[in-house]
Structure 1
Amino acid sequence: MLFPAARAGLERKGAAPVVIRYFKKEIEELRAWETRAAQLEKAIRGKIARHETVTKNVNILHGERLTLGERMADRMADIAGSWGFISFFALFLAFWIGLNSLQLLFRPWDHYPYILLNLILSCLAAIQAPVIMMSQNRQEAKDRLRSEHDYEVNLKAELEIHELHEKLDHLREKQWEELLGIQEQQLDLLQKQLELLQGMEAEKGKG
């Protein structure tokens, strides 16, 4: 029998490779996202230079990427998650159980405990589970696409604001240079007028 400390040490040794693999995977995903972000920034700068828009309808983009099987799975998931399907299936269960419970009128085909009905329900659950999971995976892909699109829009807005600030700073510097030039000209004119007045006063003093 191992002591608690030794058992904890062995558990830590066994868990270490799993933790290392997890962190390596996280680092790889971060590096992949950094590469993707750099590519998006380059593409957005090109669109800004060409005066193109980046706003898109994510629903249309996601719908264009779906295959026929994925569309059918989404449709089945929508039907299975509707109140119409729940109501229909509740009526079907009540009808099945009711008919197989009336043994006085005719011979039931599925006696209690309704083994055939349980088989049908098990098959239905086995089909519905992967279909719903497929639909959820596509919803996650749609959310990722929407997040990436929002990132592109925000990045474009940020870059445009940054360029606007640069243009305003350049315009402000240019205006300051023009104002300084005008002030220098005014000072030169004032200096000339002052020299002219001093010359006139000197001539009056001599006269």
Structure 2
Amino acid sequence: MTEGEIHDLARTLLAKSSDALDPEEQTVLLGIRNHSPISRDAADISDERATRGERLADQVAAVGGSWGFIIAFGLVLFAWVVLNTDVLGHVGLVFDPYPFIFLNLMLSMLAAVQAPIIMMSQNRQAAKDRLAASLDFEVNLRAELEILRLHEKLDRGVTDRLDRLEARLSQLMTAMDRGAVRASS
């Protein structure tokens, strides 16, 4: 197909000029022109486009949002409290006595660092979702356009067949009329 054929496809299938097509529509029409599949995996595309920082944010969010992290963090907090009250309290070497101000500082710093990283990961997930929706739209549009093209092809085939039957019927009627005229003479 040539560029003119894409213009014709845009007019016939989408009722638009090729200049007014969205990027997704252009991709679909190019796929139709090239007879190539249109479906792609959004996760693969997103991973290809991801920067090192975005991949790191995803990994931090995956670890920070897991049961393993929650359990391990709970055990560390419990050990910190026990260590600074009972164990080191008997020897007089408590480095963070109750009300655990140093522990509060560490937790605040962890939250201050972890929250923006998790938000970066959520933003990246939202971008993946938008990409997936765009790819889904392309696939759905391609399927719809291909179905329309099949309908047109079937309609043309039926119309051609009916035209041939009508011509044949007309020939038979003419032959019958000639035979009736000969029989009456």
TM-score (norm: length of structure 1): 0.76
What is the 5 A alignment of 1:128-139? 128-139=114-125
- Structure showing greater radius of gyration is 1
For residues 139 and 62 of structure 1, the distance between their equivalents in structure 2, rounded to whole angstroms, comes to 9
For residues 60 and 160 of structure 1, the distance between their equivalents in structure 2, rounded to whole angstroms, comes to 26
| Counterpart among 161, 184, 199 of residue 147 in structure 2 | 161
What is the 5 A alignment of 1:24-103? 38-102=22-86, 103=89
Whether contact under 8 Å (2:27, 2:138) holds in the other structure is no
1:134 partner amino acid: M
**Paired position in structure 1 for 2:177:** 191
Q: Percent identity?
A: 42
2:136 partner amino acid: D
Task: Provide runs of 4+ in structure 1 moved above 4 Å.
Answer: none
Query: Does 1:146 find its partner at 2:115?
Result: no
TM-score (norm: length of structure 2): 0.85
Deviations 1:118-159 (Å, cap 9, x if unpaired)? 000000000110011000000000000110011000000010
| Counterpart among 174, 179, 191 of residue 160 in structure 2 | 174
For residues 49 and 153 of structure 1, the distance between their equivalents in structure 2, rounded to whole angstroms, comes to 15
Point out where structure 1 has 5 or more consecutive residues left out of the alignment: 1-34, 200-207
Q: Structure 1 36/140 Cα, relative in aligned 2: closer, same or farther at 3 Å?
A: farther
- Equivalent residues, number: 165
For residues 117 and 36 of structure 1, the distance between their equivalents in structure 2, rounded to whole angstroms, comes to 60
Deviations 1:10-29 (Å, cap 9, x if unpaired)? xxxxxxxxxxxxxxxxxxxx
Report the alpha carbon displacement of residue 37 of structure 1 after superposing the two structures with TM. 6.0
For residues 21 and 105 of structure 2, the distance between their equivalents in structure 1, rounded to whole angstroms, comes to 51
Report the alpha carbon displacement of residue 42 of structure 1 after superposing the two structures with TM. 2.8
For residues 128 and 37 of structure 1, the distance between their equivalents in structure 2, rounded to whole angstroms, comes to 42
For residues 69 and 42 of structure 1, the distance between their equivalents in structure 2, rounded to whole angstroms, comes to 32
| CA RMSD of superposed structures (Å) | 1.5
For residues 198 and 36 of structure 1, the distance between their equivalents in structure 2, rounded to whole angstroms, comes to 68
Point out where structure 2 has 5 or more consecutive residues left out of the alignment: 1-18
